[in-house]
Amino acid sequence: MGIVLDPFSTNELNSDDIPLAEVGGIVGVDCSWNKAPETFSRLRLMGLEPRSLPSVIPANPVNSGKLGKLTTAEAIASALLICGENLHAEEIMSIFKWGPAFIKLNSHLKES
């Protein structure tokens, strides 16, 4: 059992989910919003626990500052910050010019 980041979930990811993440990992889905409800329904059937994210500020150039409009990388990095995996989150975001800004903007997520 692991976690799938699901924007439709009513259960928000928090530090209580760390054991789930450690055992089964964290899955971020990059798909068309047109097919998102169907895609996330299938993932729940596979035994993944759906979790939404709290308020996250994107730093990507397309949606910078637009609350919740995250890239998949930003979503995964957010989940890692919440789960206390700060170095892994920083490593993922380091490949983007705007990655360090994302980490700084969302420092409130660290083990929330």
- pTM exceeding the 0.85 threshold for the entire prediction: yes
Share of the chain above pLDDT 70, in %: 97
Greater model confidence, 34 or 98? 98
Domain boundaries, the chain: 3-109
Greater model confidence, 38 or 101? 101
Collapse the DSSP code of 52 into the 3-class scheme (helix H, G, I; strand E, B; otherwise coil) and give the result: strand
Backbone angles phi, psi at 88, to 5 degrees: -65, -40
Helix axes 86-93, 72-82, angle to 10 degrees: 160
List the end-to-end C-alpha distance of the chain, in Å, as a whole number: 22
pLDDT digits (tens, 9 = 90+) for 71-83: 999 999 999 999 9
pLDDT digits (tens, 9 = 90+) for 3-24: 999 988 999 999 999 999 999 9
Greater model confidence, 35 or 106? 106
